[in-house]
Structure 1
Amino acid sequence: MSNFARAGRYVEQPGKYKAFIPNPLPPLPEIKIDQEMWQILSQADLALGRLDGSTDALPNPDLFVFMYIRKEAVLSSQIEGTQASLMDILEFEAKAIEPDNPQDIAEVVNYIASVNHGLERLTDLPVSLRLIKEIHKKLMNGVRGSERDPGEFRRTQNWIGAGGCSLNNATYVPPPPYEMNQALDNLEKFLHDSTPIPALIKIGLAHAQFETIHPFLDGNGRTGRLLITFLLCEQNILKRPLLYISYYFKKHRTEYYDRLQAVRDNGNWEDWLKFFLRGVYEVAQEASATARKIVSMKEEHRQLVLNEMGRRSGNAITLLESLYFKPIVAVENVQEIIQLSYPNANTLIKEMCDLGLLQEITGQKRNRVFAYQPFLDVFKE
């Protein structure tokens, strides 16, 4: 088999365009794991192990998961052109500020719901076509593209290319529906096949194959990136979804698309896998560093409150703990969290602002909103 037909082949269709028909996984000839790939694979495995371990040791690992999921959701949606930022999402969730871009925010909020739904389902359902359809339905619920069969594999031909381009001048045309269904069945078999293959290589192959099949009319990029998260958790490589791989894909966006296309055009699986493994390594390293920063910051801020606020530090520490899950608050939120009167809640916020822990972000005299800025800064790109 020539390397060109290794991933599949372009077949002319009745409309005179060529669609790509992927071969089943694993590739043939099989993946050549050279010295360089072994080294990156080993680094990525170690980095993921460290990330998992660093959060295991925490008194409250969920504190990381909360923000990591939101960061991944924002970045994955930004790759598709969504403009919402992490701050927009947190403000929206805190019901603090009316958003300027409700449509973009809805897309990210759906992504968060999809992650949570998928992780819950993984307790009794393997990563499968059924799960992928469920996830897609959640992802596309009520947002752009929601009129295009959410949760259903396409029954018509789709294509990828510049806005307004036709099938004949598309950058890439995925398989027609019949071949698409065959390719999806093959992908599911590959996911469930117990033949030994390094887990990260299997996940890298599965992601690329999913994007090549492109089984939905919209939302394929986000669904394919979610697939990476679910496979990492299903394989117990990570106990929690702590990897924002979209950060790497967004940073190297052109290369990401070029590497996927080179698999189709030239059967170049190896360079795609090296790119993918480098991303896992880089992002796992960064996530571990973030975890360490937060742990030391948490302790530092606790000490600061104890040293500076004396007898009143109990309420401040309760508030501080809650800020890791809701880093944006109004006086009313603080009233609820600590059961304080409005004036006392207001005073507590003022004291936290004086210590540099909270910062007013609305510039309003009334209905003011405050952010736990040092914590949010850790997640800035």
Structure 2
Amino acid sequence: MELETHAVLKVTIEARDALARFDARAQALPNPTVLINAIPLLEAQASSEIENIVTTTDELFTAAATDVGATPAAREALRYRSALQTGFQQVGHRPLTANTAAEICAVIRGHDEGFRRGEVFIGDPATRQRVYTPPSGTELSRLLDNWSEFLNAPTDLDPLVRMAVAHYQFEAIHPFTDGNGRTGRIMNVLMLCDAGLMHLPLLYLSRYIIESKDDYYRLLREVTSDGTWEPWVRYIIDGVRVTAERTTRVVDNIDDVQGQLLDHVRQVVGSANGDLLSVLMEQPYSRVRDVIDRCGVSRPTASKWMHGLVDAGVLADLRVGREVLYINRALMDVLRG
């Protein structure tokens, strides 16, 4: 079947352009660690929300800063971020295969069950009406091998087209009893990094999918029932374009926040303290001891700086158990969108 139709190639060109501009912009940031720390957390939140695991941005960043009182949903989202990191560490060192997906799923779920052995129910939980029956038994193993081969075999397909096809195939195989959606979305970004389209794992489609959830599931079903690949491939690739453009705007806004925060640090500290600036940008919910460790100053000095920035309206303070967290308000406003 022809996958790279004229319509698909058109959206592919647009998406590749937006993705290249985003990748260049992200690499040009003075401190890309800001993105590496924050954007995967936002992806963890959005990807978990698709599976009805809902946590707020404040809960999630609080849980990332201190384990005190973390909700089960926040802990699950943090495992998702760990799974992202686990997968990215393999890019360039090992081929992406079904075993990669199994390792990622194990981190997401907090235990390793391996590939499922029996059937799974996919359908309406209220009516119990079955919508789709994924393969099982020896067919499951055969299709997983086929999927792994498709990811790594030489091909003339554009990497974005291959990612769209591979994502459908993974969700259709449905190799785990739980965690398939989240694992599949992590594999998407790993495929883009593995293909050299991104240098850092910073582009995630979960927010796009949430905003068009009905289309996502409808198009998945139509590939299964009717073999209508073109609308599905266009949908996924257009999601790359939309997400790249949106995340580029986030990067621009983060850069603005960093410039403004530097001015406030100069006023409060009396110098352009780059280490303090890095703490506040890399850890939007930071602690006095983070400043002590990074800046090499005493606790009274670190506390004086943080209280001064609170008094200036730059930071907000939040007590969590015995910890006090200092929130970079402007940065969090940008990250919340």
TM-score by length of 1: 0.83
Residue 224 (structure 1) shift: 0.6
1:290 aligns with one of 244, 250, 259: 250
Task: Report the alpha carbon displacement of residue 223 of structure 1 after superposing the two structures with TM.
Answer: 0.6
- Of 74-83 and 321-330, deviating more is 321-330
Mark the runs of 5 or more structure 2 residues left unpaired by the alignment: none
The Cα shift of 1:115 comes to 1.0
1:3 corresponds to: none
Local SS of the residue matching 1:227? helix
Q: How many correspondences in the alignment?
A: 337
Mapped to 2, the partners of 1:55 and 1:191 lie a distance apart of: 26
Name the CA shift for 1:207/1:363 in 2 (closer, same or farther; >3 Å).
closer
Match of 2:100 among 105, 110, 131: 131
Q: Aligned to 1:361, what secondary structure does the other structure show? A: strand
Whole-Å Cα distance in 2 between the matches of residues 122 and 178 of structure 1?
29
Cα deviation code 1:245-283 (max 9, x no counterpart):
101011111111111111101111111111111111000
Q: How does 1:1-381 map to 2 (within 5 A)?
A: 29-31=1-3, 33-34=5-6, 36-95=7-66, 97-99=68-70, 101=71, 103-141=72-110, 146=111, 150-163=112-125, 169-306=129-266, 308-309=267-268, 312-315=270-273, 317-362=274-319, 367-381=323-337
Tell me, what secondary structure is at the counterpart of 1:371?
strand
* 1:10 aligned residue: none
Structure-2 residue corresponding to 1:9: none
The CA deviation at 1:357 is 1.7
Contact 1:68-1:241 at 8 Å conserved across structures? no
Partner secondary structure for residue 336 of structure 2: coil
Mapped to 2, the partners of 1:41 and 1:189 lie a distance apart of 23
Map Cα deviations across residues 268-313 of structure 1 (whole Å, 9 max, x no partner).
111111111111100000111111111222122213432x33x633
- Do the aligned residues in 2 keep the contact of 1:71 with 1:86 (CA within 8 Å)? yes
Amino acid at match of 2:277: L
Contact 2:264–2:309 (CA under 8 A) maintained in structure 1: no
Contact 2:68/2:320, CA 8 A, preserved across alignment = no
Letter in 1 for 2:215: E
Q: Find the aligned partners of 2:272 and 2:179 in 1 and give their Cα distance.
A: 46
1:86: how far off? Answer: 2.8
Q: Which residue of 2 aligns with 1:7?
A: none
Q: TM-score, length-normalised on structure 2?
A: 0.93
Matches of 1:339 and 1:50, distance apart in 2: 37
Deviates more, 1:185-194 or 1:218-227: 185-194
Shift of 1:192: 1.6
Identical-pair percentage: 28
